[in-house]
Structure 1
Amino acid sequence: MLSYQHHYHAGNLADVHKHALLAWMLDYLTQKPKPLSYIETHAGRGLYDLSAPEAMRTGEAAKGILRADQWFAPAHPYARALAALRQDHGPDAYPGSPMIAATLLRAQDRLHLAELHPGEHAALKSALDRKNIHIHHQDGFALAQSLCPPEPRRGLLLIDPSYEIKSDYADLPRILTTLHRKWNVGILVLWYPILTSGAHHPMLDALSAAHPTTLRHEVSFPPVRDGHRMVGSGMFIINPPYGTDAQAAILSGHFARLS
């Protein structure tokens, strides 16, 4: 059984990178009235409390969203999602990617969220009990394979594993290529950590070779504490919506000013 729980890391700088781009892309998709599908393979619990002992113990949110809040104007979709959640759940609430999607998407859109960890799955069901949200207690890669191409065919798939299973690095190029073949119009988004070990390099080499016209965006930041191995965050996006590269460049500017 997987042991990873994101509560210790919620709101860190990798979340800021990932969630800001995700929120912008989802908001862009909703500019057209047609319904869409959102699929997430590793959903987590959806709702986090940054004042909880787990979050306070690591201090990652203090160096993450609590510092980066000022980067986003109130009209930015990430800021809107944060504001909506804080209004409903208090100032220490933080949305995981499923909650961001649920906040920004509409009643006609369909969400499929997979979470294998039993405790996180139960929390996710409690946080997101809505008619158009389908929560699956199963392997997220298997769910994505079974759903693609989804109905509606417009939409976005987020793959956001913990990389606790080291074989994910070797398996993801094949998985992403298969999903793209099944759902060639879908926006396929892979998040990955940038580690001091460089474990992500072979995976990205394989992905870039198979998908040379995609958007690959990476940001770097100081380790949150001595010995911490994550020093950046990456997003590999197949079929990025128009303007995503410009949004990514804005984020790069913010992260470049960190010290």
Structure 2
Amino acid sequence: MLSYQHAYHAGNLADLQKHALLAWMLDYLTAKPKPLTYLETHAGRGLYDLAGPESEKTGEARAGITRALSEDWLPEDHPLCQALDQIRAMHGPNAYPGSPLIARYFLRPEDNAHLAELHPTEHEALSQVGGFAHLHKQDGFAMAQAICPPTPRRGLLLIDPSYEVKDEYDAIPRQIAKLARKWNVGVIALWYPILTDLRHVPMLMALQQNHPEALLSEVRFPPARPGHGMVGSGMFVINPPYGLADEARRIKALYSGL
């Protein structure tokens, strides 16, 4: 259950969708002079090396963020590009931020952050860059359920599991329903993979039944290698910020020619 290592996949086409939408939401939320809370249930290590052996082995970043930057998929002033520029200025040209460091770029001193990561190696790496947040070495859903509704009540929760265990697909709609009841004003964003076996479909149907007003955004892309099961990714956002639907359509259009 703790075997997943995102370093092999950091910066891939799924990350591009997830991080572009996350950065846009954080940029929007922090534009208002009101404090917020940011939470993550599955934070990962926070910082990745796209020249490292894991990334080089799969080549997924070359087909994702590296290609996107070289072909100007995103404008220079896009929130993700702004965050990436600062992080690479600090950590080198091959650095790629996970969602915690993207959040750190936008969060202000008055904001509050909680990051959960259960994997011991990933948690140790996160502790090196996550000093801006409260770190939790525990199950991320347990952390979120304990904290929600957070203080400040305004804010965003990112749920980005590894989906190593098939039971997660069954459990996620129940977890999110409980969180949404506790924190009815929170932006709750779930990322999920689109696999060839369509195992995400029952989960998505349950989520849409429970939260019919949520935003659903999916992108499709070629498998990273022959036989690889992931052919797309999705974001399901409860209480989406104003304008996110337009941004999601712009991001989706980037994938139309792949």
Deviation at 1:129, TM superposition (A): 1.8
Aligned to 1:103, what secondary structure does the other structure show? Answer: helix
Aligned to 1:64, what secondary structure does the other structure show? Answer: helix
Q: Match of 1:71, as an amino acid?
A: W
Give the match for residue 43 of structure 2: 43
Instruction: Say if 2:56 is the partner of 1:30.
Output: no
Report % sequence identity: 62
Equivalences for 1:10-159 in 2 at 5 Å?
Answer: 10-69=10-69, 70-130=72-132, 133-159=133-159
Q: Match of 1:197, as an amino acid?
A: D
Residues 48-101 of structure 1: per-residue CA shift (max 9 Å, x gap): 000000110000000010011221112111000110011001110000001100
Aligned to 2:62, what secondary structure does the other structure show? Answer: coil
Aligned counterparts of 1:71 and 1:35: Cα–Cα separation in 2: 31
Instruction: Say if 2:168 is the partner of 1:171.
Output: no
The number of residue pairs the alignment matches comes to 256
Deviation at 1:17, TM superposition (A): 0.3
Aligned counterparts of 2:166 and 2:11: Cα–Cα separation in 1: 24
Aligned counterparts of 2:166 and 2:86: Cα–Cα separation in 1: 36
Give the match for residue 233 of structure 2: 233
Q: Match of 2:74, as an amino acid?
A: F
TM-score under structure 2 normalisation?
A: 0.98
Aligned to 2:63, what secondary structure does the other structure show? Answer: coil
Instruction: Say if 2:206 is the partner of 1:213.
Output: no
Aligned to 1:71, what secondary structure does the other structure show? Answer: coil
Equivalences for 1:188-227 in 2 at 5 Å?
Answer: 188-227=188-227
Aligned counterparts of 2:57 and 2:94: Cα–Cα separation in 1: 15
Q: Match of 2:219, as an amino acid?
A: V
Q: Match of 2:215, as an amino acid?
A: L
TM-score under structure 1 normalisation?
A: 0.98
Structure 1 runs, 4 residues or longer, greater than 2 Å off: none
Unaligned runs of 5+ in 2: none
Aligned counterparts of 2:223 and 2:174: Cα–Cα separation in 1: 30
Residues 120-162 of structure 1: per-residue CA shift (max 9 Å, x gap): 00100101223xx111111000000000000000000000000
Q: Match of 2:166, as an amino acid?
A: K
Aligned to 1:63, what secondary structure does the other structure show? Answer: helix
Aligned counterparts of 2:31 and 2:231: Cα–Cα separation in 1: 34
Aligned counterparts of 2:74 and 2:188: Cα–Cα separation in 1: 24
